């Protein structure tokens, strides 16, 4: 393990909710909850204002509504979150070639590899500048941990939240870790934590004192040895620039179980197209098609079919997924469907199109559900997800506050405007259309970015 705090861990603060607040002036400083809004929805992210009421990630949305009935509840806009994430990751890659993203809002950086820092002082300077750059480019805040290992850098960023910086000096790791609960360590989830608690082990100090032999007896060789090393603050894991993807998949959970076999087939077809879109977006193809079905009784079935070679042809993937569906009994109802592709490669095998012989001509591949609207039968009511962007022919850009009973309520504002006015329309108003999200910050004439009022409270740069 290195002797300088030159591994950086960045964790954006309440990322999805913060993006929504930055793009919606009327929600700044307010409780915001992002996630699935149906009966089975769960919280993806809650703003710090919502966390005061006890709302947190992975909580059932119904429970969140009981805790914070006056919060703004929004459907995720993953296209926008990915775009903002890429801006942040670009800033990290400018520091070092060794950037290891863990999710859209979290990453490790090896500052030595890029020559950005070699000691505690230079690492602190880099981290301070990075946080300022993130604020300038995105209007958002992130928390940073600096340490000599990945484990400790992540612990540092947790301590730094929100909008802070913590540097863990080498030599202080054991005293820092000792009183912390065992769940602090990577690899200690609820089950392992309960197992250790029943053995009388509650803190990292107690974990270290138990000794390697006892932990191996309790948890098995690999897990026991790894946890004992981490309890002693030993973590040799390197920052890995590229995580090789093992699969690409998409899935949807339905608010009401699907019983109609034709509807199930149409959903599988739609999921197959979305999966191919993700494959192509990553420049990949795959050999094995996987279907996932969770039935009404929560039993989950998976079926797979391996092709002669890798493909990214939507017709091939659709047909394979349909064949797999034929082998699954869905008469009791379906609550979740998923389509995935494994055996990934960076090339395709063209003669696989023969497997789709007889299929209808290929149309455009559908985008993920958070982007273009899904196809609707003629005469069906238009769907307006809460929080998503719209444009009105007369009033301009806005976002959906809510809809129901044939009406949709829109607040007309932009990231760089003052809080806007609310207006209500018929859901089929021809002058109201879905729109793309607007940038969170305004470019300045010198090519830099002007910060939105969400970050600084200053006047927007126009």
Q: Looking at 333, 356, 379, which one is the last position of a domain? A: 356
Interatomic CA distance for residues 60 and 66, integer angstroms: 10
Angle at 439 between CA 24 and CA 448, to 5 degrees: 125
Residue 67, domain member (yes or no): no
The verdict on 254 and 225 lying in the same domain is no
Q: Are residues 420 and 319 in the same domain?
A: no
Write down the pLDDT at residue 39: 76
For residue 209 the two structure tokens come to 């004192």
Count of structural domains, the chain: 3
Domain-located, residue 398: yes
Position of tokens 């005469």?
A: 379
Closest CA to 270 of 350, 205, 363: 363
- Report if residue 290 sits inside a domain: yes
Clarify whether residues 225 and 262 are in a common domain: no
**Residues lower than pLDDT 70 in the chain:** 242-245, 346-381, 442-462
Cα–Cα distance measured from residue 416 to residue 414, given in angstroms and rounded to the nearest whole number: 5
Kindly state whether residues 320 and 227 are assigned to the same domain: no
Per-residue pLDDT at 11: 97
State the residue range of the domain holding 197: 175-231
Closest CA to 34 of 44, 21, 23, 48: 44
If asked whether residues 269 and 349 sit together in one domain, one would say yes
Residues that are catalytic: 106
Are residues 258 and 349 part of one domain?
Answer: yes
- pLDDT, residue 396, reads 96
Spacing of C-alpha 141 from chain mean position: 17
Note whether residue 184 is domain-resident.
yes
pLDDT of residue 436: 94
**For the domain that residue 218 is a member of, what is the CATH number?**
1.10.150.20
Within-domain flag for 410: yes
305 and 338 part of one domain: yes
109: in domain = no
DSSP conformational letter for 60: B
| Domain end position, chosen among 305, 338, 356 | 356
Residue 309 lies in a domain: yes
Do 251 and 220 share a domain, yes or no? no
Identify the CATH number of the domain in which residue 253 sits.
3.30.1490.100
What's residue 443's pLDDT? 58
Domain contains 200: yes
Q: Which pTM value belongs to this model?
A: 0.73
Residue 284 sits in the same domain as residue 352: yes
């Amino acid at each position: 393990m290195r002797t300088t705090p030159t591994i950086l861990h960045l964790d954006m603060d309440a990322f999805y909710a913060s993006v929504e607040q930055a793009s919606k002036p009327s929600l700044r400083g307010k409780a915001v909850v992002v996630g699935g809004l149906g009966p089975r929805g769960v919280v993806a992210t809650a703003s710090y204002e919502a966390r005061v009421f006890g709302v947190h990630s992975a909580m059932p949305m119904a429970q969140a509504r009981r805790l914070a009935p006056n919060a703004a509840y929004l459907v995720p806009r993953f296209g926008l979150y990915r775009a903002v994430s890429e801006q942040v990751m670009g800033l990290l890659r400018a520091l070092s070639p060794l950037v290891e993203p863990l999710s859209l809002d979290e990453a490790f950086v090896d500052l030595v590899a890029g020559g950005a820092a070699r000691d505690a002082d230079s690492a602190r300077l880099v981290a301070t500048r990075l946080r300022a750059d993130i604020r300038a480019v995105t209007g958002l805040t992130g928390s940073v941990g600096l340490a000599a290992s990945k484990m400790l850098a992540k612990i540092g960023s947790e301590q730094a939240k929100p909008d802070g910086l913590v540097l863990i000096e080498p030599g202080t790791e054991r005293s820092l870790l000792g009183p912390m609960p065992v769940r602090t360590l990577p690899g200690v989830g609820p089950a392992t934590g309960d197992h250790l608690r029943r053995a009388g082990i509650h803190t990292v100090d107690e974990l270290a004192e138990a000794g390697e032999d006892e932990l191996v007896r309790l948890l098995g060789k690999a897990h026991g040895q790894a946890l004992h090393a981490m309890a002693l603050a030993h973590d040799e894991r390197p920052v890995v620039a590229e995580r090789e993807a093992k699969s690409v998949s998409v899935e949807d959970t339905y608010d009401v179980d699907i019983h109609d076999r034709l509807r199930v087939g149409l959903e599988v077809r739609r999921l197959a197209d979305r999966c191919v879109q993700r494959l192509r977006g990553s420049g990949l193809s795959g050999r094995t098609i996987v279907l996932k079905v969770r039935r009404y009784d929560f039993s989950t079935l998976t079926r797979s079919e391996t092709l002669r070679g890798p493909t990214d042809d939507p017709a091939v993937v659709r047909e394979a997924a349909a064949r797999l569906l034929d082998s699954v009994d869905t008469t009791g109802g379906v609550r979740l469907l998923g389509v995935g592709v494994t055996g990934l490669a960076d090339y395709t095998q063209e003669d696989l199109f023969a497997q789709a012989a007889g299929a209808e001509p290929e149309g455009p591949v559908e985008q993920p559900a958070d982007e273009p609207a899904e196809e609707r039968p003629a005469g069906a009511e238009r769907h307006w997800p809460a929080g998503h962007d719209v444009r009105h022919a007369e009033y301009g850009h806005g976002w959906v506050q809510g809809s129901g009973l044939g009406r949709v309520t829109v607040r007309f504002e932009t990231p760089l405007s003052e809080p806007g006015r609310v207006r209500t329309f018929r859901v089929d108003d021809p002058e109201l259309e879905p729109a793309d999200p607007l940038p969170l910050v305004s470019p300045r004439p010198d090519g830099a970015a002007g910060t939105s009022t969400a970050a600084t409270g200053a006047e927007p740069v126009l």
